[in-house]
Chains A and B, each alone.
Chain A
Amino acid sequence: LNMLLSFCQFLLIVVTAPLFVAIIHKTKQRIRGQKGISLFFFYRTINKYLKKEVVVSNTASFISFLVPYVIASIYLMLIACLPAFYIEPLLGKLSDIIFIVYLSALATFFLTLYALDQGSSFGGIGASREWLLSVLSEPTLVFVLVTLAIQAKSAKLETIFLQTTRTSIYLTVPTILILGALVIIMLAESSRVPFDNPETHLELTMSHEACILEASGKHLALFEVAAYLKLVFYMSLLCMIVWPYTAGGLETLFSAIAFYIAKMLFFCFLIAGIEIANPKMRLFRLPIPLSVGFVMSLLAMILTIKGT
């Protein structure tokens, strides 16, 4: 039964991922005064991509055929490591924090390999910018996770959140700082507005979109799914830090799911708000918010070390 519940948790997060992305999108459009897309828009998009033929560049090598599958699988694995609302994630044994960080770096590596494989300048620009963001946000991600690890005296996500579920009811100062840092790197890593614009392919805003510019058909569908999963991964991480509440068995499962969805909706609205309120930043101003995130995580870690 435990295995089944874990699998259900994994499946639910994966299946609802396009829905949450659509909610962010729709909220933004409503604030702008537009009518907005249907909530199931992105399911239809993926279905449409799957039906279309795949056009592969003449210069593409085996990398182009391999990478979409690899990236989608990496993010599926990351999602399977999260105890979002049920205490035992599917791949809980693998949820070591360093492993998770390196797995997400591996996804960036493959994405940029794909970009360079096309032999056009757009891919190069995208790869360069993607890594600039990644290099600056990776230390912050490690610091956030290590701070949590120090709090829980364990370096595994599974145990960390088991621990925090039992102990923390109030938001402490380090937790608030961690949340701030994590929001910043979530926006950077999943290419949201102050860093990148997920809605356009315009050259000036591109980092993630430029990397997958050549993708089409089922490859594009896989890349899109991977992007949704990445966003949902970071959002779930945030949800698990704010008032963590995970179910241990069937009895509390439904209230845990309801609470999880409520928190996810809150973060959807938060992201939509940030995206509406901020313009896209110039590329070389991006280190500023990222270093703010780093300093926040550093402060959180110092406070945690002092506290223990």
Chain B
Amino acid sequence: LICWEIMTVLSFFLIIFEKKVETKKPAILYFFMSLLGTVFISTAFFMLYKQTGHLDFLSFYGKANALTMSLACIGFAIKAGLFPLHTWLAEAHPVAPTSVSALMSGVMVKVAVYGAIRFLLYFRGENVATLGIVIMFLGAVSALMGIMLALSENDVKKLLAYSTIENMGIIFAGIGLTYWSLSQNFNYLATLAFTAVLLHVVNHGLFKSLMFMISGVLIKYTHTRNMEKLGGLAKRMPILAIYSLVGVMAMCAFPPLNGFISEWFLYQSLIGMAFGESVINSYFAILTLAIITLTGAIAGVTFLKFYGIVFLGKPRTLEAENSGVASWYEKLVLAIPVALCIFIGIFPQFLLAGIARLTYAVTGQHLQQSFSFINIENNGKNITSLYPTMAVVAFVVVMLGVWVIIKIRAKGKVRRAETWACGLSEYNSQAQFSAKALTQGIRRVFSMFYSTVSAVRFEDELKHFRRGAIFEEQISDPIDKYIIINIPKIATQLSDKFKSSFQTGNLNFYIASIFFALIVSLTIYWGLS
């Protein structure tokens, strides 16, 4: 825990490393949110200490009661950036230098996951099924919220930070599900969900670091973080475009990459929960399933936007057109996470063998898997199985078949020409579809998730022929806009009220208050001991 505080302080300095005014506010916000989390967590630890009289983890095993676990969960939820306390993450991660944000998103938030797993699964003393359901549901909601906000974001790094919120939500949904199924003694479900959690922790660390590093390279060579100013980079940096395609597909959890394997486990455990006898639990399972599916679909658009706007089409500005080209060592370094993403996606069995040992320690049940497939069985009945390697082989065979047939049958040559634009000769690269427009339909349908303020302004209001119009749109997180911003205001108001009612200037009243406080604290002390 102390180490964690050191980490917070150090990362505070890492964020403000780039000496700019704009980085200070998010850094301070991060610092305070993290401290707030620590307050909850250390309270939980002190309660455990009071119970056991020791301070090492071994003696805490199976000792935590419901209150301790809830407190710890609130603390870890703040540290992991879970809904509704996620705003600091989206503020703090993008302003840090790229290498630091890769580290923060990839590794540091995972420490909160470790803590939550410690408390919920190892220190678990009481079984409160509701707590598991609540965590699962909050995780799912924060996944949806994270991806909805990522959808509306045009800043490359901010989009990735919101995607971290989404992935942490998915991980916490898995943790909640694991805790719930352990408390209900559904060990096979717990095995699935816990595998999903551990695998997604590894996967998210991989592909999020990859994407942050890629965005760092982009910023280095184009000097902008705004997507609307990029475009057409696939022709300037083809290798980087391929890497990025892998990263993006892994983040959308598309097969055959690593993200799919872990999300598959989560889906299967949710479906398994829906199979269960209890009707209420099945309802919770399908509710979560619906949210997670919607999240998955919206992740598709979000990263389509990321990839399509940044890498495809025509360059939107001169910076993008004349960008530098990534050097060979950058390509080499980035190849490592790319290769790992593909490897885990096609051959998950090597990683799963390690994870199976961990899940066995918690749930007491082995994951059914062999070299070629992963099997899910309940009471000896096969539910489903996944053949990641075979799927890739089948896909390659089918694609080769299609290619050969086309090669034999097709006669035409390939010719290059300008894109057809209704017969107009339009060379204005600003006339392409923009990132905002690409997601406008979905944002309009799900408008309750955003607080959007948009306006059209005309330059010369009074003339009949207006020369130009400016469209402005500001999209913000409703939680941020309505709650977080107002906290200082509410605090000031409350303390004002407090002041006016207590600081009356009457000495007798002060003495009475002190006496009253003494009695209250003595009562609490006796009550506790």
Contact = CB atoms under 8 A, between A and B. Distances in A.
A113 to B, nearest CB: 6
B419 to A, nearest CB: 4
A289 to B, nearest CB: 13
A155 B268 contact: yes
Interface of B: 231-232, 234-235, 238, 241-242, 249, 252-255, 260, 263-264, 267-268, 271, 274-275, 279, 282-283, 286, 289-290, 293-294, 296-298, 300-301, 304, 307-309, 311-314, 373, 376, 381-387, 390-391, 394-395, 398-399, 402-403, 406, 409-421, 429, 431-434, 437-442, 444-445
Contacts of B242: 62
Contacts of B298: 135
B445 A136 contact: yes
A50 interface: yes
A126 B434 CA distance: 13
A76 B313 CA distance: 28
Interface majority SS (helix, strand, loop, mixed), chain B: helix
Contact of B417 (A57, A77, A146, A302): A57
A63 B296 CA distance: 23
Interface majority SS (helix, strand, loop, mixed), chain A: helix
Contacts of B314: 59, 119
Nearest to B236: A61
A72 B413 CA distance: 20
B293 A142 contact: yes
Smallest CB-CB A-B distances: 3 pairs: A124-B433, A116-B308, A53-B412
A84 to B, nearest CB: 18
Given A50-B411, A73-B402, A302 B283 contact: yes
Q: Which of A72, A77, A106, A135 has the most CB of B within 10 A?
A: A135
B385 to A, nearest CB: 7
A93 interface: yes
A227 to B, nearest CB: 15
Given A138-B293, A143-B290, A213-B420, A63 B440 contact: no
B381 A153 contact: yes
Given A50-B411, A56-B416, A105-B297, A129 B402 contact: no
A146 B274 contact: yes
Given A56-B416, A132-B442, A305-B283, A94 B387 contact: yes
A305 B282 CA distance: 7
Interface of A: 50-59, 61-63, 69-70, 72-74, 76-77, 80, 91, 93-94, 96-99, 101-103, 105-106, 108-109, 112-113, 116-121, 123-125, 127-129, 131-132, 134-136, 138-139, 142-143, 146, 149-150, 153-156, 159, 213-214, 217-218, 221-222, 283-284, 287, 298, 301-302, 305-306
B297 to A, nearest CB: 4
B133 to A, nearest CB: 16
A213 B420 CA distance: 9
A99 B255 contact: yes
Contact of A106 (B255, B271, B402, B417): B255
Given A57-B417, A222-B402, 4 more contacts: A56-B414, A102-B296, A116-B313, A128-B440
Q: Which of A70, A123, A306 has the most CB of B within 10 A?
A: A123
Nearest to A225: B402
A47 B294 CA distance: 39
A98 B254 contact: no
A128 B412 contact: no
